[in-house]
Amino acid sequence: MTDFVALSCPSCGGKLEITNDVERFACAHCGREHIVKRSGGIVSLSPVVDAIREVGIGVEKTAAELAIVRLKTEIPELQRQKSALLEAHSRPVRNVNWLIVIPVVFLLVMCSIATSQSNTTYLIIFFSGIAMVIFVVWRLSVVHHRETRYWEVTVGAQLKSIDDQIAEKNVELQRNQKVVSS
């Protein structure tokens, strides 16, 4: 003969009789499913929803732990890619000083020669030298601007993409660390 245990449904309060061999059942009054828990001679009921929630929490923590391991390898890899990109494509920085020195020296030499000449020749050489300095500086600034713009469009865009990925992965890492620590 099977022993019965009298319990009340945790959902609706209806009277239930459960045999020793039952581990899961539905309440005859409200239809909610329950799991029978037996521990130390005590029999209790737990709604299946609670059991599923507990399993869900465990699965979520496990997934977060795996994500943390993955992210801790992906973030340094992205940082390595960024360093390699910067190393391969250094930002264009022109040292224009030495290119300006040449016309200035030319201008000084011409001025010293022109001092022995007439004032008109002196002025022509002087203004020619100034025009040369202005032209060289203008040309260097145009080239520098073009190189900088090219760098920003190509390498700069790649660096921004990598920085954005690193930021997203850091946010994801923090979120997963919170799940694991809760």
Let me know if residue 57 belongs to a domain: no
**Is residue 67 domain-shared with residue 48, that is, in the same domain?**
no
Domain extent, residue 169, equals 63-181
Residues 42 and 71 in one domain: no
Which 3 state secondary structure label does DSSP give 115?
Answer: coil
- 75 shares a domain with 147: yes
What is the model's pLDDT at position 49?
A: 61
User: Do 68 and 157 reside in the same domain of the chain?
Assistant: yes
Are 36 and 89 in the same domain?
no
Using only C-alpha atoms, what is the Rg of the chain?
A: 40
Does residue 21 contact residue 36 with C-beta atoms inside 8 Å? Answer: no
Residue 131 lies in a domain: yes
| Model confidence pTM above 0.85 | no
Q: Based on the fold, state whether residues 94 and 44 are members of the same structural domain.
A: no
Same domain, 127 and 173: yes
pLDDT for the residue 13:
80
Same domain, 158 and 92: yes
- Give the dihedral sign, CA 167/170/171/172: positive
Domain contains 148: yes
Are 151 and 86 a contacting pair, CB within 8 Å?
no
Kindly state whether residue 109 falls inside one of the protein's structural domains: yes
Distance CA 68, CA 73 (A): 9
Task: Say if residue 43 is in the same domain as residue 75.
Answer: no
Residues 68, 127: one domain? yes
User: CA separation (Å) from 115 to 42, 107, 112, 127?
Assistant: 115, 12, 5, 14
Contacts of 110 (CB under 8 A, 6+ apart): 125, 126, 128, 129
Could you list the pLDDT tens digit for every one of the 182 residues in the chain? 457 777 888 778 888 887 777 788 888 888 888 878 887 777 666 665 655 566 566 778 888 999 999 999 999 999 999 999 988 877 655 555 666 677 667 767 766 766 666 667 667 777 777 787 788 778 877 877 888 888 888 888 999 999 999 999 999 999 999 988 98
Mark whether 95 and 140 lie in a shared domain.
Answer: yes
Domain total for the chain? 2
| Pair 101, 151 in one domain | yes
Q: Give the separation between CA 152 and CA 30, rounded to whole angstroms.
A: 67
pLDDT value of position 1: 47
- pLDDT score recorded for residue 141: 78
pLDDT of residue 68: 94
